[in-house]
Amino acid sequence: MKASKVAYRPVGLALGAVSGAVAGAVFKQVWKTLGHEEDAPDATDQDRSWPEVLAAAALQGAIFAGIKAAVDRGGATTVHRLTGTWPG
């Protein structure tokens, strides 16, 4: 394993935590805007329909994946600028 990959691991873990928190906040705001509700439906919520539960899950997954990719890419780019080595 490359030294740059090992050195990046703690940075990647920290960025992962940050991206998760940011993605959760973004999803909550988007859901309120689209659904006019405070909370997205849980899969086991009997009062919610299948389409509503699946739409919320798909939207949440897309937001989390997009933010995680952006944060990971930004972190890798920053490490590359600082060290001259790509951390992958």
Average confidence (pLDDT) over 37-51:
90
Average confidence (pLDDT) over 57-67:
96
Residue 1 confidence (pLDDT) = 59
For the chain, domain boundaries: 24-88
Average confidence (pLDDT) over 14-22:
91
What is the token pair recorded at 53? 């539960």
- Mean pLDDT over all residues of the chain? 89
Q: How confident is the model at residue 51 (pLDDT cuts 50, 70, 90)?
A: very high
Is residue 66's pLDDT more than 80? yes
Alpha-carbon gap, residue 1 to 72, rounded angstroms:
19
Is residue 4's pLDDT more than 70? no
Contact present, 27 and 33 (Cβ < 8 Å)? no
Residue 73 confidence (pLDDT) = 93
Q: What are the two backbone dihedrals, phi and then psi, of residue 40, each rounded to the nearest 5 degrees?
A: -75, 155
